[in-house]
Structure 1
Amino acid sequence: MSWMRDNSLNWAQKFALNVIKTGKIPRHVAFIMDGNRRYAKKLHLNASSDGHIHGFDKLAEALQWCLDIGIAEVTVYAFSIENFKRSDDEVNALLELAREKFRKFMEEKDELNKRGVCIRMIGNWKLLPLDLQKCMADVMLLTKHNNKSFLNVAIAYTSRDEITESIREIVDGVKRNELEPNDITDNLIRRCMYSDKCTDPDLLVRTSGESRLSDFLLWQASTSIVYFTKTLWPEFTFWHFLGGMIYYQRHYQKMNSVKQSMHHFSNFIADGTLPNDLQQMRQTMETETSTKVDTFSQGATEFLEKFDKRKNNYLMELSNLKI
């Protein structure tokens, strides 16, 4: 099944879509695609593979809905590090499905580049088989210059692992005398994460009735609107998707106020200008409207340049492997 779908909405769906587009649309939506195994059991299918195949088909459909409504960036939780604890049959089936779908990206490279789709894989690559790492590197290098839309695939990922690895990278930088302790900020930690090139999600959708984040984008989703639905992922329809958009629009204004307050508070901390009077701080947060550009020290800037170069070299080495 192809990643690339054409718009197949009927007139009623198109009308509803146009109505929703008159309101605020999230720039970035993240999906926890839960319920594949329960769907397979419900239909008496092979729970180790068939449910996940149906889940991929739904993902391709959902990506087209996102494009139709104007969402520029999508992140999907494809494979958690915790999934390695499942049976060997299921883990092997999931990894083989990933190989198949990433190879499909390469087959559809002309269409991907035509549509300007940039694909990024985020996660702990060293936990994956080398041939799968090569497939991922090939896809990322193929699409890295595209900038019309972005698909982030979280594979061998948990948020705790991402934060831990970011801090470990920074600690190593201090040991190499590339960083000073004063260079370490929350933004530097963010820049050393697997998802450093991704924006924070505006809306996070979880299917299947579970009301938890399962260690997914915990840092990035601090101000995301979270939409839980009882629908199993393979049964997620266009109308469920629009339900998520309506939920986002209902809560956008309140969450945006929270986001602005957090931004201003971070600026106070970074500048060392935190007012002693809480009322003064509150008034400043309410009246300040300018957006501060994040800056790094010269040492931190050079450290990040080396960090980006190492990551790019790693992709090139994987892509050049003969497997």
Structure 2
Amino acid sequence: MSWMRDSSLNWAQKFALKVIKTGKIPRHVAFIMDGNRRYAKKLHLTTSTDGHVHGFDKLAEALQWCLDIGIEEVTVYAFSIENFKRDESEVNALLELAREKFNKFMEESDELNKRGICIRMIGNWKLLPVDLQKSMADAMLMTRNNNKAFLNVAFAYTSRDEITESIRDIVDGVKRNELESNDITDDLIRRCMYSGKSSDPDLLVRTSGESRLSDFLLWQASTSIIYFTKTLWPEFTFWHLLAGVFYYQRHYQSMHSVKRSLHQFSSVMDDESFTKDLEQVRQTSNIAEIETSSKLATFSQRATEFLEKFDKRKYNQLVELSTIKV
């Protein structure tokens, strides 16, 4: 199945879409796609992996729905580090499915670039087979200059690991005398995370009836509106997504007030403008923008130079992985 779908909304869905667009639309939505194994059991499918295949098909649909609604960035929890603790046969099947789907990115490169979709893989790549790392690097390099929409795939990911690795990178910077202790801020830690180029999610959706975050985007979702639905992920529909967006619209004002209170220390009076500028900087590797922007002057000169080197190292790692012969 393809990652890319054409819009296929019926007249009722198009009408509902027009209504929902009269309200505030989240710029970034994150999904915990839970319920694939329960779906397989419910339908008496041969293996739990069959449930994950159905889950991928649903993801492709959901991505197109997000584009229809006007959601510019999507982050999906595809594979947790905790999943490695599952039965070996299931883990191997999931990794093989990932190989197939990530290779599909390359086959659809023309369409991805035509639509301006940027692919970002976030997670601890060291835990993955080299050939899978290469496929992920290829997809990221192929789409790195696109900026119309963003798809972040969290694979071999947990939030605790992400924060730990960010701090390790900063500690290494201190050891190399690229940073001093007083350069370390929460913004610097956030910028060094796997998801450092992404905005924080406005809305986080979890399916299957579980009411927990399962170590997903714990730092980034501190001010996100969280929507839980009992629907299993493969049974998720356009109407469930609209329900999540409507839930976001109902609670937007109260959460917006919380965000404004967090920025009281800033001289920036227009929080939406501040957030927009910050997101633009995080989506680009041009770190000089941080230094020159009066609104975003949160990094010292040393930290700015460190981030420039940090981004260059990460880019070089992608290039190195893409050249590996497998």
> Which category describes the TM-score, using the shorter chain as reference length?
over 0.9
Structure 1 match to 2:175: 175
Give secondary structure in 2 for the equivalent of 1:230. Answer: coil
Matched pairs, number: 304
For 1:261 and 1:47, how far apart are their aligned partners in 2? 49
Kindly indicate whether residue 128 of structure 2 is the aligned counterpart of residue 125 of structure 1: no
Mapping of residues 178-217 of structure 1, within 5 Å: 178-217=178-217
For 1:82 and 1:264, how far apart are their aligned partners in 2? 38
For 1:255 and 1:47, how far apart are their aligned partners in 2? 41
Kindly indicate whether residue 40 of structure 2 is the aligned counterpart of residue 40 of structure 1: yes
Structure 2 match to 1:297: 300
Give the number of the structure whose alpha-carbon radius of gyration is greater: 1
Mapping of residues 246-285 of structure 1, within 5 Å: 246-265=246-265, 267=266
Structure 2 match to 1:108: 108
Kindly indicate whether residue 313 of structure 2 is the aligned counterpart of residue 310 of structure 1: yes
Give secondary structure in 1 for the equivalent of 2:23. Answer: coil
- CA-CA distance at 1:47 after TM superposition: 3.7
Give secondary structure in 2 for the equivalent of 1:322. Answer: coil
For 2:257 and 2:46, how far apart are their aligned partners in 1? 46
For 1:8 and 1:208, how far apart are their aligned partners in 2? 25
Does the 8 Å CA contact 1:48/1:89 hold for their aligned counterparts?
no
Structure 2 match to 1:239: 239
Structure 1 match to 2:289: none
User: Deviations for 1:212-261, whole angstroms, at most 9, x for unmatched residues?
Assistant: 00000000000000000000000011111111011000000100010111
Does the 8 Å CA contact 1:102/1:139 hold for their aligned counterparts?
yes
Specify the code of the residue in structure 2 equivalent to 1:117. I
- CA-CA distance at 1:295 after TM superposition: 2.7
* TM-score (ref. length: structure 2): 0.91
- CA-CA distance at 1:185 after TM superposition: 0.3
- CA-CA distance at 1:89 after TM superposition: 1.0
Specify the code of the residue in structure 1 equivalent to 2:157. Y
Give secondary structure in 1 for the equivalent of 2:231. Answer: coil
Runs of 4+ in 1 over 3 A off after TM superposition: 288-292
Task: Give unmatched runs, 5+ long, in structure 2.
Answer: 275-294
Task: Give unmatched runs, 5+ long, in structure 1.
Answer: 269-284
- CA-CA distance at 1:296 after TM superposition: 1.2
For 1:157 and 1:321, how far apart are their aligned partners in 2? 23
For 1:294 and 1:22, how far apart are their aligned partners in 2? 35
Specify the code of the residue in structure 2 equivalent to 1:234. P
Give secondary structure in 1 for the equivalent of 2:24. Answer: coil
For 1:245 and 1:176, how far apart are their aligned partners in 2? 46
Specify the code of the residue in structure 2 equivalent to 1:97. L
Give secondary structure in 2 for the equivalent of 1:189. Answer: helix
Does the 8 Å CA contact 2:29/2:74 hold for their aligned counterparts?
yes
Does the 8 Å CA contact 1:38/1:47 hold for their aligned counterparts?
no
For 1:171 and 1:212, how far apart are their aligned partners in 2? 31
- CA-CA distance at 1:302 after TM superposition: 1.2
For 1:68 and 1:289, how far apart are their aligned partners in 2? 28
Structure 1 match to 2:4: 4
For 1:94 and 1:45, how far apart are their aligned partners in 2? 16
Give secondary structure in 1 for the equivalent of 2:153. Answer: strand
Identity among equivalent positions (%) equals 83
C-alpha root-mean-square deviation of aligned residues, in Å?
A: 1.2
Specify the code of the residue in structure 1 equivalent to 2:30. A
User: Deviations for 1:30-55, whole angstroms, at most 9, x for unmatched residues?
Assistant: 00000000000001113431000000
1:320 to 317, 320, 323: 323
Specify the code of the residue in structure 2 equivalent to 1:318. L
For 2:137 and 2:7, how far apart are their aligned partners in 1? 29
Give secondary structure in 2 for the equivalent of 1:264. Answer: coil
- CA-CA distance at 1:289 after TM superposition: 3.9
Does the 8 Å CA contact 2:41/2:48 hold for their aligned counterparts?
no
- CA-CA distance at 1:301 after TM superposition: 1.1
For 2:17 and 2:104, how far apart are their aligned partners in 1? 29
User: Deviations for 1:91-132, whole angstroms, at most 9, x for unmatched residues?
Assistant: 111111111011111001000000000000000000000000
For 1:47 and 1:162, how far apart are their aligned partners in 2? 31
